[in-house]
Amino acid sequence: MNARDLENAVLARCADVATGAGLSARDAREANVFRLAGMVIGSVRPAEAARLRQASDQFFAQSGSAPLPPTEVVAQGWVPGLPRLRDMLCARLAHH
């Protein structure tokens, strides 16, 4: 998979969870991405943001691990950057 494919896969999973289709994070990476996505869309899509944060919180509660700081999630390259994540996820949710 190239970078664009990976980005699309992340956005698709976020959109699924945000709309209630996918209810949990599969691993720590997804849980951290969901947490960050919930943060960045919270002011414009509060219901979807709450679902993303819930999926993240549920994963961390069950795993006993702690979420990474947002800067680390971006540094790992798991999201394309905060403004891009917000804009692309909001656009995807508008069409969902």
Query: Is the pLDDT confidence value at 72 over 90?
Result: yes
CB 73 within 8 A of CB 95: no
Please write the tens of the pLDDT for every residue from 9-43: 999 999 999 999 778 899 999 999 999 999 999 99
Model confidence, pTM: 0.94
Most distant CA pair in the chain, distance = 35
Q: What is the DSSP string of 48-91?
A: HHHHHHHHHHHHHHHH---PPPHHHHHHTTSSS-HHHHHHHHHH
Tokens 């991405």 belong to residue: 33
Query: Can you tell me whether residue 10 is helix, strand or coil?
Result: helix
